Amino acid sequence: MHTQKAISIVLIPPPEIINDCTQKNRKDFEGGFMPISLGADDFIPHITLFMGIAYEPSIAHISAILDKLSQKHLPIKLEPTKVAKNWMFFKKTPTLLDFQQSIANEVEPLVHHKALADHYFTDPEDIITPDCFPWVEKFYYAHSFENFAPHITTWSTYEGPPPNTSFVAADLALCHMGKYNTCRRILWKN
């Protein structure tokens, strides 16, 4: 039997946006308001474009598809619209929506959506709670295409203006998800 991984295909924002997210999160994490501490290498701030469960042998094929799509669609301009508690929302531009749809259409045949705790990356003390599973199970149908709502989960209580009016994202990654459907380990990056 092959190992299965809970995967997330994500846009990784540029360093200044990652730094903004991690600084705001760190204050709340250290104050006991948030359960995780974001970082550039673990619990990475990102915009999710797709979720699923992939068998280990499919990872190389998915990575090749992502390499092709990243060459066609990236870099991409992102426009933050607002920051509300725990979220930084982005304008769903035609370019961003086309990219998300291309990924969903090409990767969907290579995954399934029946998530189990064993599919997630964990540290010894981590517990994967069942409230993570519906996001994976329903992403293709409930959160893709016209239902796609681009955002970064900031893990912060900050509410206010976005850090920039727009920025360019050039990094696409395939993540092994961990607790709270976070990006814990990068399996592939363009």
Q: Which two tokens stand for residue 42?
A: 């673990």
Q: Which two tokens stand for residue 22?
A: 């991690």
d(CA 110, CA 97) in angstroms, rounded, equals 21
Contact 8, 177 (CB under 8 A): yes
Identify the pLDDT of residue 61. Answer: 98
Contact 75, 170 (CB under 8 A): yes
Q: How many CB atoms lie within 10 A of CB 41?
A: 9
User: Mean pLDDT for each 10-residue chunk of the chain (190 residues)?
Assistant: 88 95 95 95 97 97 98 97 93 97 98 97 93 96 97 94 88 97 98
Domain ranges of the chain: 4-189
d(CA 100, CA 78) in angstroms, rounded, equals 13
Identify the pLDDT of residue 1. Answer: 46
Identify the pLDDT of residue 162. Answer: 87
Domain 4-189 has CATH 3.20.20.70: no
